[in-house]
């Protein structure tokens, strides 16, 4: 079984995110990290490998992004991936979700995985959707927001929470599965794994290397245009109490509640 | 003609409230651009003529009905792609919910459409529809415009359900050849309820607990506080702790849980992710207790308390008991 894990670099959670007014795109400069949701996808791949129900030949981390995204791949490799593939090309800048999913599917097609895993959402923008786009291009069955996944009956038995409760779905391979953060507790990489990550193979590919049609990616190839960024209607900020003396804090909360006739 | 096609989810013979909201929204916006709103339903024999026709009351003039497996996204992509391909709809519109995200994204890939998710407002502009979507933890709003097919996925509760004098919708049966990969996923069990059946929707006061409670036993603090409030109060939970098995699914607030608007929503150890916010933001009064001063929940609470809930909750419970007793 060959598993590809889609990963993405996102601005570090501690860094304030902003729109670059000159391009209208998310300013992706500043500290970056591996999307935290993706670490759950890598862990899920590792657990399949270690579970022993099926032999895993290879775990490959795949990303699309500028040179800086190499760091996310190193992190992915330190968490267990055997090697990584980076799709980088100036022509990809400004791609919308559909174009990004298309480009990733072409990079994946070349790898021909039996299973594609990814995190259910990214910290910096698009949520829930990229897996479904990739799956349709690869003509594979797909499920998102999976919180339990077992190798069973030659496929995967997946559980997730949907509109009416928990659903259990049996999926044949090859498949595209996005996982939720409840699926596992990602391990911390060992120092040795962190040091060794740079030595694992990292392949750089351009759009022509994987047969991407340049007219279907980038800003011109995208079917949706986002702009007119503006502030939302904000409700006035609430009152904040820093708890120093808990008795005093509680008195303040009770007074606040009484004022509003909530007690 | 710029027609709008909405997908209407159903379960056990009842339409989903967010889907009905999408039909209402689709009807209102389609009228502004000189089109009609149609609906697509997919399932088994419970999709009776009468049930499908009833979508007319929300503004659908035509309902496309396909026979197929319920609760999975890819068969719906096949069906919508066929209907849009044959009828030339300009927009596909979805109410909030997990399936809408999956179907909309799959459809964007299949039909080469533009897709926007988490939309809170749709409006007409020069005869076209544009969609507004909050980004960056709701600190900004971005506007989407579409080159060709526009696929608009609403945030949960974004579209209000409204009835119109539409009478009954025409029902058109559609034969769909499902793609091979649509048949490679099989629903084994749908809608399983995990944990006790608790009622939180009617409560005036909700004490909600999240991962910050630390462990399943942490919910005792929330339950004690709810008991102290007395009357019509209950305990609710976030998705993270429900998935972890700390609290029953029936008590879950948010995107795949309940939507509530009590007089008081007291959030204990809840960071306030968007998926949670959408289920409780219309509460009359929101109080948040969290040790992380940067937690997003403080952005939309009326009273925020930065501190250790293990210290604050027991004392607050005692103080409220004392008030009630006096």
A137 touches chain B (CB under 8 A): yes
- What's the CA angle centered on A227, arms A222 and A231, to 5 degrees? 145
Residues of chain B with pLDDT under 50: none
B260 CB burial (10 A radius; 0-12, 13-18, 19+): buried
Please tell me the distance in Å from A42's CA to the nearest CA on chain B: 20
- Please name the helix (run of DSSP H) or strand (run of DSSP E) that holds residue A250, with its range, or none: helix A246-259
Q: Could you tell me the pTM of the whole model?
A: 0.93
Residues 24-53 of B with CB under 8 A from A: none
* Residue in A with minimal Cα distance to B102: A132
Q: What does R_g of chain A's alpha carbons equal in angstroms?
A: 21
Please tell me the distance in Å from A180's CA to the nearest CA on chain B: 10
Please tell me the distance in Å from A77's CA to the nearest CA on chain B: 27
Task: Report residue A31's pLDDT band, with 50, 70 and 90 as the boundaries.
Answer: confident
Q: What are the start-end ranges of the E strands in B177-216?
A: 185-192, 205-209
Per-residue pLDDT at B74: 98
- What's the CA angle centered on B266, arms B250 and B99, to 5 degrees? 40
User: Distance from CA of residue A13 to its chain's centroid?
Assistant: 14
Which of B98, B111, B97, B109 lies closest to B5 in space, CA to CA? B111
Residues 156-185 of A with CB under 8 A from B: 157, 160-172, 175, 180-182
DSSP structure string for B274-286:
HHHHHHHTT-SEE
B292 touches chain A (CB under 8 A): no
- Is it the case that residue A14 has pLDDT exceeding 60? no
B100 touches chain A (CB under 8 A): no
The mean pLDDT of A95-103, rounded to a whole number, is: 95
Cβ A249–B305 below 8 Å, yes or no? Answer: yes
pLDDT in tens, B160-193: 999 998 789 999 999 999 999 999 999 999 999 9
B159 touches chain A (CB under 8 A): no
Interface predicted TM-score (ipTM):
0.93
Please tell me the distance in Å from B213's CA to the nearest CA on chain A: 16
Lowest mean pLDDT among A11-20, A77-86, A126-135, B171-180: A11-20
A191 touches chain B (CB under 8 A): no
pLDDT in tens, A141-192: 999 999 999 999 999 999 999 999 999 999 999 999 999 999 999 999 999 9
pLDDT in tens, B16-42: 999 999 999 999 999 999 999 999 999
Please tell me the distance in Å from A70's CA to the nearest CA on chain B: 24
B300 touches chain A (CB under 8 A): yes
B243 touches chain A (CB under 8 A): yes
Per-residue pLDDT at B311: 97
A238 touches chain B (CB under 8 A): yes
Q: What are the start-end ranges of the E strands in B44-162?
A: 60-67, 91-94, 114-119, 121-125, 128-135, 140-146, 150-154
DSSP A76: H
């Amino acid at each position: 079984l060959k598993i590809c894990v889609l990963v993405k670099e996102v601005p570090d959670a501690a860094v304030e995110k902003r729109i670059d007014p000159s391009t209208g795109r998310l300013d992706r400069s500043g500290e970056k990290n591996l999307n935290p949701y993706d670490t759950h996808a890598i862990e899920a791949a590792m657990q399949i490998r270690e579970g022993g129900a099926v032999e895993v030949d290879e775990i490959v981390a795949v990303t699309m992004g500028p040179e800086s995204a190499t760091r996310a791949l190193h992190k992915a490799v330190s968490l267990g991936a055997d090697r990584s593939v980076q799709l980088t090309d100036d022509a990809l800048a400004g791609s919308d979700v559909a174009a990004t999913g298309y480009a990733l599917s072409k990079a994946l097609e070349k790898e021909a995985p039996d299973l594609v895993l990814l995190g259910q959402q990214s910290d910096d923008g698009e949520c829930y959707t990229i897996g479904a786009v990739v799956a349709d291009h690869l003509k594979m069955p797909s499920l998102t927001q999976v919180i339990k996944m077992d190798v069973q009956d030659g496929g995967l038995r997946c559980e997730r929470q949907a509109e009416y409760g928990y659903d259990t779905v049996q999926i044949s391979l090859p498949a595209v599965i996005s996982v939720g953060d409840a699926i596992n507790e990602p391990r911390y990489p060992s120092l040795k794994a962190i040091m060794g990550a740079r030595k694992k193979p990292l392949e750089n590919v351009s759009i022509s290397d994987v047969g991407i049609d340049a007219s279907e990616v980038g800003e011109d190839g995208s079917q949706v245009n986002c702009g007119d960024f503006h502030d939302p209607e904000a409700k006035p900020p609430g009152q904040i109490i820093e708890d120093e003396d808990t008795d005093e804090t509680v008195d303040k909360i009770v007074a606040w509640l009484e004022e509003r006739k909530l007690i | 003609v710029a027609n709008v096609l909405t997908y209407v989810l159903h379960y056990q013979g009842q339409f989903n409230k967010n889907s009905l909201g999408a039909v209402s929204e689709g009807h209102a916006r389609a009228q502004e651009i000189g089109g009609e709103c149609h609906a697509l339903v997919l399932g088994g024999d419970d999709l009776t003529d009468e049930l499908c026709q009833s979508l007319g009351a929300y503004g659908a003039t035509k309902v496309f009905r396909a026979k197929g497996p319920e609760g999975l996204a890819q068969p719906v992509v096949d069906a919508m792609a066929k209907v849009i391909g044959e009828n030339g709809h300009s927009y596909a519109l979805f109410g909030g919910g997990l399936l809408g995200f999956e179907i909309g994204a799959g459809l964007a890939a299949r039909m080469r459409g533009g897709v926007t998710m988490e939309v809170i407002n749709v409006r007409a502009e020069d005869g076209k529809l544009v969609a507004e979507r909050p980004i960056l933890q709701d600190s900004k709003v971005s506007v989407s415009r579409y080159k060709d097919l526009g696929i608009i996925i609403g945030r949960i509760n974004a579209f209000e359900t409204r009835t119109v004098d539409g009478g009954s919708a025409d029902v058109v049966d559609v034969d769909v050849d499902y793609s091979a990969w649509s048949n490679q996923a099989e629903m084994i069990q749908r809608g399983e309820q995990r944990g006790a059946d608790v009622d939180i929707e009617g409560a005036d006061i909700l004490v909600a607990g999240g991962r910050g409670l630390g462990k399943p036993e942490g919910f005792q603090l929330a339950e004690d506080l709810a008991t102290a409030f007395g009357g019509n109060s209950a305990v609710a939970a976030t998705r993270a702790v429900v998935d972890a098995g700390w609290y029953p699914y029936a008590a879950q607030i948010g995107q795949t849980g309940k939507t509530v608007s009590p007089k008081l929503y007291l959030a204990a150890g809840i960071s306030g992710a968007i998926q949670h916010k959408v289920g409780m933001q219309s509460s009359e009064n929101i109080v948040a207790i969290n040790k992380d001063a940067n937690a997003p929940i403080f952005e939309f609470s009326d009273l925020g308390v930065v501190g250790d809930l293990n210290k604050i909750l027991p004392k607050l419970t005692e103080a409220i008991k004392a008030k009630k007793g006096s």
